[in-house]
Amino acid sequence: MRIIEITIGIILLGGAAWTTVKTYKGRGISSILVLAFAVFLVALGLSFLFGAFGEMVRNLRFGSEWLK
């Protein structure tokens, strides 16, 4: 499940980068809306990535209790 979340996060960050590059020289309200959508994709992608990595670290920390 975490691998899927990491993959989704990377895809969302890639989509945000692609939309930012495509509208970099654009002018007008449509470019602003597309860039706002890119910011939304970045936030969503980072939330997936941080959630997955945080869960992985938490699992490693609590899962290694039996080693003590």
Quick one: tokens of 50?
Answer: 């941080």
Instruction: Note the pLDDT tens digit of each residue in 11-26.
Output: 989 988 888 887 777 7
Question: Residue 58 corresponds to which tokens in the numbers above?
Answer: 């938490």
The stretch 35-61 carries a mean pLDDT of 87
CB of 45 within 8 A of CB of 13?
yes
What's the whole-model pTM score? 0.72
**More confidently predicted of 55 and 42:** 42
Instruction: Calculate mean pLDDT across residues 29-33.
Output: 81
Please state the domain extents for the chain. 2-61
